[in-house]
Chain A
Amino acid sequence: MVKSELIIRLSEMNPHLFHRDIERIVTTIFDEITKSLSKGNRVELRGFGAFSVKERPARIARNPRTGESVKVDDKFVTVFKTGKELRISLNKDNPIANNRSENNPLIDQS
C-alpha cells in the first residue's frame, strides 16, 4: 500500500470529508513525525510503535572491494520499535511467538 492508496481507503471510510482534507491529514501526520525526529525527539504511538533518533559514531570502514580504509562521519539514524499490540497482531496465528509469559526463559523476569 502506498500513501495515495491509504488516502483513498480513508476517503472511502469517511465519505463526509473532502478527499483533499484526508490528504492534508495524512501529510500532516508524517510531517509532524519527521519534524519531531529532526529535532532529535522521540515519537511514541502506543500500540503502533515508537520512532527515535540514535547517533552512530564516526568510524573507519573498509571498501569491501578494494580493502581501502574509508572514514565514515558520525550520523543520526531513525530507529523504529514495533509496539506491543501490533507485534502481537502480526503473530496472531502463531501463539508461541507471542508467548512472553514467565515460562519463557528468554525474557528477563525482573
Chain B
Amino acid sequence: MTDNTLTRAQLSEAVYKEVGLSRNESADLVESVLKEISDTLVKGQSVKISSFGSFYVRDKKERIGRNPKTGVEVPITPRRVLVFRPSDTLKNKVNNSASNKQFNLNEET
C-alpha cells in the first residue's frame, strides 16, 4: 500500500508523458503549480480547482488544549489553518471506485 503512494516523481512522470516537455521541465512545472497554490493561500486567498476541490484558509481563535498524555491544560494560540474541501466530483469518484473495488473482490471470492 505504501509503495502505491503518489508523489512529485509520479506527477512529473505523468506530465512528461502527457505534454512532451523534458523530464526536468515537467518536474519544474509540477513544482510551480504547487508553489503558485501555496503562495496564493499564504496571502489568505482561497484556491478553487473545479471538479477537484477547494483550499481555503481559516482563522482559528485561541482555545484551551490539553496534552492527552499529561492532562496539562495549555492555551492554543490563534493561528491560520488550511482546509481542503473535495468537490462533489472527487467525492463521487473516491466513493464509486472504492466500493467497486470491494464489490469486485467479493465477486472473485
Contacts and interface: CB of A to CB of B under 8 A. Distances in A.
Nearest to A75: B95
Interface string B66-108: 0101101010111111111010011101111111010000000
B47 A6 contact: yes
A29 B11 CA distance: 6
29 contacts: A1-B46, A2-B47, A3-B48, A10-B32, A25-B15, A26-B33, A28-B15, A34-B52, A36-B6, A39-B4, A39-B97, A40-B97, A40-B101, A41-B6, A42-B2, A42-B5, A43-B5, A44-B7, A45-B34, A48-B34, A49-B84, A76-B95, A78-B91, A86-B38, A90-B41, A90-B82, A97-B79, A106-B65, A108-B67
Interface residues of B, number: 64
| Complex A-B, nearest 7 residue pairs according to Cβ-Cβ distance, in ascending order | A80-B84, A97-B79, A38-B97, A36-B6, A76-B98, A43-B6, A41-B4
Interface in B1-18: 1-2, 4-8, 10-11, 14-15, 18
A90 to B, nearest CB: 5
Nearest to B55: A80
A29 B2 CA distance: 20
Contacts of B52: 30, 33-34
A91 B80 contact: yes
Interface of B: 1-2, 4-8, 10-11, 14-15, 18-19, 21, 26, 29-30, 32-34, 36-38, 40-42, 45-53, 55, 57, 65, 67, 69-70, 72, 74, 76-84, 86, 89-91, 93-99, 101
Interface in A16-65: 17, 21-22, 24-26, 28-30, 32-34, 36-49, 51, 53, 55
A20 to B, nearest CB: 10
Contacts of A70: none
Contacts of A82: 81-82
